[in-house]
Structure 1
């Protein structure tokens, strides 16, 4: 296998490459990065590093020369993500790449999504399935790593305040999902399969509050609120209106059960149980 990993210096891409290096020679791994600083981060690993981005088709094609497989790590939701993803897929097909993998999202039902940007993942999946390349799709659950940002750095003073009701999420650590993805790519290849990487249990904000209380010794409460109350509380913080709307849509999908589906795919491909929410919170909050 000769594989190109896009978004290679992000937390997910770094985890994938770290695991790939256990199985492949550095010369069999290529990385697409956006800046010169990103290149320096990977040079010490002796892998092939290319500067480029999803909008620069020439750079994509150059990075894919002598590559048989591409892992497309999804672009951010700022900009024309669908076009960027299609640039990567089309370039792979043009250059002669045989296999493509994609990092999608583990949502329960695309037809009832509140956060419409999540539909872009499914549209990318559709395009991959129609392109003629062998594929594997990784539908990843919401990263446990985002919880310190999601619930705020003042959680131990103000508690958790979200419009998610009793909704639950199968949070898992990004590093473990990257490890599992690399295991699949090397050991199983591209067999036109879709995996849902979730934890073995789904957790509500009530669960998060209870565990933070237990771990810190400081009482943390979760207060579920309606969307209007949440907006009124958040606007004085200066959060951009577009970002505020995204947060509300995320929470609405959580409330509606979009993020609570449990599978054993992650455990199977890790070869061990994923890190629990309690252990993850202990790491993420330094408790």
Structure 2
């Protein structure tokens, strides 16, 4: 039995779709949801549904009963993630889960000096708990989803002609979330879990000068890239009414890119997919080529 947490989210739903496409039996797949009102799409797929909440330890232990492999998708509520993740690992151990596949993050700096420490802290703690648990596990060091790049570029880029982001000359080896999902499905169905860590990246890294050039070529409009200070960037977003939490996340990831935190290239994703991941230029053509 394979249980997918966060089954109604984009990544979890994508994993289930790819599992079914790869021939997994519907009755062997379980989607974990927090409420019945979100379970409809999963039931339409024919997979099992169980209820559980990362904040409710008892619900997790019940949901994990009889599960062989657990896909543990990291929680989205960053302020509560430490306690939530600790609940998941403890519940999985007590329920007798044999293997956990965990969606962690790409990084180079594992100290509090990291611009994305608020995100890093819970991931690093969870990896430590997994190692200490004695449960066989696979850690996925996910780079930034390519799907998020238009958000960093800005929704008014074609109007302003400028990408305004404090990412300096830093590069990011970004890949599509759905290709992450496809690769994860392959891992979940593998008869052996010999490799404990996968670097989920593209086969090349990109900086925002290149991204501006790609969008220029695709749209026929001149797009330039300007890297302000982090403070200036934050002030602009604040004036625009962007919530402080969102500013912190976008600013942190931009600063992390500037420092080379996400400039890590691996062929792990390519090998699992059996092809090269979608290039950023091809993806941007889909977004801006209309």
TM-score, normalised via structure 1 length: 0.95
Structure 1 gap ranges (5+): none
TM-score, normalised via structure 2 length: 0.94
**Residue 153 (structure 1) aligned to one of 149, 155, 162:** 155
Tell me the distance in 2 between the aligned counterparts of 1:53 and 1:218: 47
Tell me the distance in 1 between the aligned counterparts of 2:204 and 2:186: 22
Residue 83 of structure 2: aligned partner:
83
Residue 179 of structure 2: aligned partner:
176
Tell me the distance in 1 between the aligned counterparts of 2:206 and 2:25: 39
**Residue 235 (structure 1) aligned to one of 220, 225, 238:** 238
Residue 130 of structure 2: aligned partner:
128
Task: Give secondary structure in 2 for the equivalent of 1:222.
Answer: strand
Residue 68 of structure 1: aligned partner:
68
Residue 114 of structure 2: aligned partner:
113
Q: Deviations over 1:167-217 (max 9, x none)?
A: 000010000011111112212543461000100110111111111111111
**Runs of 4 or more consecutive aligned structure 1 residues displaced over 3 Å after TM superposition:** 188-192, 284-287
**Residue 227 (structure 2) aligned to one of 218, 224, 227:** 224
Task: Give secondary structure in 1 for the equivalent of 2:134.
Answer: coil
Residue 18 of structure 1: aligned partner:
17
237 and 44 in structure 1: CA distance in 2 versus 1, 3 angstrom threshold: same
Shift of 1:96: 1.2
Tell me the distance in 1 between the aligned counterparts of 2:51 and 2:233: 41
Residue 102 of structure 2: aligned partner:
102
Shift of 1:246: 2.5
**C-alpha contact 1:42 1:49 (8 A) present in aligned 2:** yes
Residue 9 of structure 1: aligned partner:
8
Structure 2 gap ranges (5+): none
Tell me the distance in 2 between the aligned counterparts of 1:232 and 1:96: 49
Counting matched residue pairs gives 286
Task: Kindly report the root-mean-square deviation, in angstroms, between the aligned alpha carbons of the 2 structures.
Answer: 1.5
**Residue 283 (structure 2) aligned to one of 270, 277, 280:** 280
